[in-house]
């Protein structure tokens, strides 16, 4: 195994523990606060966040296709699939920012206060989803650099695979953030 | 080994077929659908949290095994990465669970 791949795996393990600590802390706060806000009605909030989840999952599939094309040495198709992955990442970020904008401007949720319950919710919600969104945005930039480098023949198939590891990790984290943050706070 | 042969060797020992990856993707979407369905059934927070964590761990295992190719890597890598990570997460839960459930009993109903 190459050093780049091992390095990425070690980064992923350390980042997993960062998100684990945040999500365990969130779960603690969620279970122990009797007035935890439930700001997400099924329609539209949960439908919206489920769409975001499917978009991110779809971008993971396009990344798998990019890695497979790179391993076949098919540079043109690999770049095409990487660009498709970038579009998925951008769409996810756009949807996420729209959701944040609506929550802040229409429902008056901020990082320190909200009209529905404990103010801790804002810190936890914007903190965890914000850190994840930062990872997605860094991932899109990383994908762009690898697409250009691989397209010009400067990067190898291993670079695309390492990039894929990072992108799948971002998807994996969302598989915990979506159910724990959104589905645990559904408004009935 | 020339470049072409090296690329071929790389391609032959990595990853699942397109069909398998597609099946994994459909499975991930289906589990997500199940989670959303569970959100309809107003379960108690402690039960809901437990079920969602179990389903998320299944999804994480699918992503790591197939999309991240861990299933096709040397088992030494899995031993390097997974047990220490699980140990650290277990340590977090050892401190979290007893205290959280104790406070859950204390809170007003």
What's the average model confidence in pLDDT over A4-30?
93
Which pLDDT belongs to residue B44?
A: 86
Q: Do A31 and B103 touch (CB under 8 A)?
A: yes
Residue in A closest to B107 by C-alpha = A34
DSSP state of A185: G
Beta carbons of A71 and A157 less than 8 angstroms apart: yes
For chain A, say whether B103 makes contact (Cβ under 8 Å): yes
Predicted TM-score of the model (pTM): 0.91
Residue in A closest to B85 by C-alpha = A13
Return mean pLDDT, chain B.
84
Which pLDDT belongs to residue B108?
A: 66
Q: Do A24 and B67 touch (CB under 8 A)?
A: no
Which pLDDT belongs to residue B49?
A: 86
What's the average model confidence in pLDDT over A72-81?
97
pLDDT tens figures, A144-182? 999 999 999 999 999 999 999 999 999 999 999 999 999
pLDDT tens figures, B6-58? 444 444 456 789 999 999 999 999 999 999 999 888 888 888 988 999 999 99
Domains and CATH numbers, chain A: 3-187 (1.20.120.80)
What's the average model confidence in pLDDT over A44-57?
96
Beta carbons of A27 and A180 less than 8 angstroms apart: yes
Question: Strand, coil or helix: what is A187?
Answer: strand
Neighbouring residues of B37: CB distance < 8 A, sequence distance ≥ 6: none
Q: Per residue in A153-185, is it b (16+ CB within 10 Å) or e — as a string? A: eebbbbbbbbbbbbbbbbbbbbbbbbbbbbbbb
Q: Please name the residues between 26 and 45 in chain B that touch chain A, using a CB distance below 8 Å.
A: 28-29, 32, 35-36, 38-40, 42, 45
What's the average model confidence in pLDDT over B78-104?
86
Question: How many cross-chain Cβ pairs, A to B, lie less than 8 Å apart?
Answer: 131
Question: Strand, coil or helix: what is A41?
Answer: strand
Label residue A40 left, alpha or beta by phi (over 0 means left) and psi (-120 to 50 means alpha): beta
Q: Which of A129, A113, A127 is nearest to A49 (CA)?
A: A129
Which pLDDT belongs to residue B8?
A: 44
pLDDT tens figures, A30-48? 888 888 999 999 889 999 9
Which pLDDT belongs to residue A187?
A: 85
Q: Per residue in B50-85, is it b (16+ CB within 10 Å) or e — as a string? A: ebbbebbeebbebbbbbbbbbeebeeeeeebbeeeb
Q: Do B92 and A21 touch (CB under 8 A)?
A: yes
pLDDT tens figures, A102-136? 999 999 999 999 999 899 999 999 999 999 999 99
Distance from CA of B1 to the nearest CA of A (A): 16
Q: Quick check: ipTM above 0.90?
A: yes
Residue in B closest to A166 by C-alpha = B68
Which pLDDT belongs to residue A2?
A: 87
DSSP state of B21: H
CA atoms within 13 A on the CB side of A143: 31
């Amino acid at each position: 195994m190459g050093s780049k791949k091992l390095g990425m795996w070690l980064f992923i393990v350390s980042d997993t523990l960062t998100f684990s600590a945040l999500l365990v802390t969130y779960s603690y706060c969620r279970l122990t606060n009797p007035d935890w806000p439930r700001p997400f009605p099924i329609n539209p909030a949960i439908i919206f966040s489920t769409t975001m989840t499917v978009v991110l999952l779809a971008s993971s599939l396009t990344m798998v296709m990019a890695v497979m094309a790179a391993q076949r040495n098919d540079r043109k198709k690999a770049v095409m699939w990487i660009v498709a992955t970038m579009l998925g990442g951008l769409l996810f970020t756009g949807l996420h920012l729209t959701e944040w904008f609506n929550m802040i401007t229409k429902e008056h949720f901020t990082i320190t206060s909200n009209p529905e319950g404990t103010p801790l919710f804002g810190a936890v919600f914007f903190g965890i989803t914000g850190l994840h969104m930062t990872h997605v945005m860094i991932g899109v930039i990383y994908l762009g650099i690898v697409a250009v480098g691989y397209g010009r023949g400067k990067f190898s198939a291993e670079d695309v695979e390492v990039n894929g590891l990072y992108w799948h990790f971002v998807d994996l984290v969302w598989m915990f953030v979506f159910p724990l943050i959104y589905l645990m706070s559904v408004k009935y | 080994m020339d470049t072409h042969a090296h690329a071929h060797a790389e391609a032959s020992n990595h990853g699942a077929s397109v069909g398998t990856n597609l099946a994994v993707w459909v499975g991930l979407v289906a589990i997500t659908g199940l989670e959303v369905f569970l959100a309809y059934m107003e379960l108690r927070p402690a039960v809901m949290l437990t079920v969602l964590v179990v389903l998320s761990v299944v999804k994480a295992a699918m992503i790591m095994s197939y999309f991240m190719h861990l299933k096709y890597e040397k088992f030494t890598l899995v031993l390097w990465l997974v047990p220490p990570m699980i140990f650290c997460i277990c340590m977090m839960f050892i401190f979290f669970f007893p205290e959280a459930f104790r406070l859950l009993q204390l809170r007003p109903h």
